[in-house]
Amino acid sequence: MTENLDGVSAEDGAHVPADQIAAALTAGHLVYGDGATQSFDLDGATRYTERGRETVGTWSVDEDGHFCSFWPPSFRASYNLRWVVEKGRVVGLRFTDLRSGARFDGRYQ
């Protein structure tokens, strides 16, 4: 599930450093509070599935170390990415939209 995070030492709510974003995103599928799921590939592809409908987009890390996503044809968003840690173990990621401040947590499946 999160094997590539075994060496990561993180505190709940701590910023995910830019050099760890790829490992954090690709550590496993994320499940959100509404039941939607998302997976990320190292090549920058991402798939978001909600109520059986899959949407394919891309992700990247910008020069300021923010996680960015693009969903065709034109939706772009940038997020602060933080660790979700319980009992000393990374269990997910917290995304905070840089424009709206909307926050959502994904837990590794």
Task: Map the chain to HEC letters.
Answer: CCHHHCCCCCCCCCECCHHHHHHHHHCCCEEECCCCEEEECCCCEEEEEECCEEEEEEEEECCCCCEEEEECCCEEEEEEEEEEEECCEEEEEEEEECCCCCEEEEEEC
Radius of gyration of the chain (CA): 13
Taking 90 as the threshold, does the pLDDT of residue 8 lie above it?
no
Percent of the chain with pLDDT over 70: 93
CATH code: domain of residue 40: 2.40.128.640
Which residues sit opposite 97 in a β-bridge? 79
**Mean pLDDT value of segment 71-88:** 95
- Over residues 21-56, the pLDDT tens digits come to 999 999 999 999 999 999 999 999 999 999 999 999
- pLDDT of 88 strictly over 90: no
Provide the pLDDT confidence category of residue 7 given band limits of 50, 70 and 90.
low
- Note the pTM of the prediction, 2 decimals: 0.89
Query: How many structural domains is the chain composed of?
Result: 1
Give 1's pLDDT tier (boundaries 50, 70, 90): very low
Q: Domain limits at 101? A: 3-108
Question: Cα 4–82–30 angle (5° rounding)?
Answer: 55
Q: What is the pLDDT of residue 9?
A: 73
